[in-house]
Amino acid sequence: MAFENLLVEKRGAIGIVTLNRPNALNALCQALMDELVAVIDDFENDAAIKVVVLTGSEKAFAAGADIKEMAAKSFIDAYKEDFITRNWERVTKCRKPVIAAVAGYCLGGGCELAMMCDFIVAADTAKFSQPEITIGTMPGAGGTQRLTRLVGKSKAMELCLTGRMIDAAEAEKAGLVARVFPAAELMVEALKIAQKIAEFSGPIAMMVKESVNRAYETTLAEGLRFERRLFHASFATEDQKEGMNAFTDKRKAGFKDR
């Protein structure tokens, strides 16, 4: 598949998608988001791909939704075309683990897209903000919700109400980012993490992801019940037998994704 706004690569079990609109700091136009849906669909359907890495350029992961494309939109335009919901949420529905590898600007919709991934690893050059208030709007792709769950109400309020930009160190301290690496090592480290996950059982990784995500959406009691059901279900997999037998036999497990 050839794309205008993305670079796509399959490296072993890892699907790498690079946002590629250098002249617009990877601003997330509709065409780019439609392409991203197609890529995630493809990775999801490809049994050889076990982990997805979503990244941008050294200068920008993404400087937000495309302001020039949005500027003239009326309510009825946005409502009728199901703006944002139609394609942006595909990333959140991907069943395979998705890692955002962020360098440079990660602003507005860019930050929201990164937060739709399972976790964010950042270069020490990364800069995060929800600056929508500075252009007369508000976060519209989950910024007020996901950021609040990640960093808590006080910090999310301050960031969304002021549009202040934070660096990678502050983002890590706040819980927005899982790990920070020197910029030159970002992709190497992101791919190492992806590879580590890819070597485990794919279905078990999917269960872990589903269960952690449940923590966002339900009560503790329901979340624990859900976790327990999946934990029990894991004993029906060949990979659970292999993993535990390999431990006993003092050998490396060979998972088969079954």
Q: Which residue is nearest to ligand DAK (CB)?
A: 140
Candidate residues 15, 97, 108, 203; the one interacting with ligand DAK per rule CB under 6 A? 108
The count of other CB atoms within 10 Å of the CB of residue 164 is 14
Position 65 contacts ligand DAK (CB under 6 A): yes
Candidate residues 8, 36, 63, 198; the one interacting with ligand DAK per rule CB under 6 A? 63
Q: Is 112 a catalytic residue?
A: yes
The residue annotated as part of the active site, out of 60, 112, 123, 141, is 112
The residue annotated as part of the active site, out of 13, 24, 65, 141, is 65
The residue annotated as part of the active site, out of 126, 132, 140, 190, is 132
Position 181 contacts ligand DAK (CB under 6 A): no
**C-beta separation of 166 from 128 below 8 A:** yes
Query: What is the identity of the amino acid at 219?
Result: T
CB-based contacts of 39, cutoff 8 Å, min separation 6: 1, 3, 6, 8, 15, 17
**C-beta separation of 2 from 42 below 8 A:** no
The count of other CB atoms within 10 Å of the CB of residue 86 is 13
Q: Is 185 a catalytic residue?
A: no
Count of residues interacting with ligand DAK (CB under 6 A): 22
Q: Is 71 a catalytic residue?
A: no
Position 31 contacts ligand DAK (CB under 6 A): no
Candidate residues 27, 99, 151, 205; the one interacting with ligand DAK per rule CB under 6 A? 27
* Least distance (Å) between residue 46 CB and ligand DAK: 29
The count of other CB atoms within 10 Å of the CB of residue 157 is 14
Position 107 contacts ligand DAK (CB under 6 A): yes
Strand order across the beta sheet in which 51-55 lies: 6-11, 14-19, 51-55, 98-102, 119-123, 179-181
CB-based contacts of 237, cutoff 8 Å, min separation 6: 201, 203, 204, 258
Strand order across the beta sheet in which 166-167 lies: 60-62, 105-107, 127-129, 166-167
Position 159 contacts ligand DAK (CB under 6 A): no
Question: Residue 37 or 215: which CB sits closer to ligand DAK?
Answer: 37
Candidate residues 101, 117, 141, 177; the one interacting with ligand DAK per rule CB under 6 A? 141
Q: Is 238 a catalytic residue?
A: no
CB-based contacts of 11, cutoff 8 Å, min separation 6: 191
Question: Residue 26 or 55: which CB sits closer to ligand DAK?
Answer: 26
Stretch touching ligand DAK by CB under 6 A, among 3-11, 57-65, 91-99, 237-245 = 57-65
* Least distance (Å) between residue 241 CB and ligand DAK: 46
CA pair distance 240, 233, nearest whole angstrom: 10
Question: Residue 27 or 176: which CB sits closer to ligand DAK?
Answer: 27
* Least distance (Å) between residue 227 CB and ligand DAK: 32
Instruction: Give me the active site residues, please.
Output: 65, 109, 112, 132
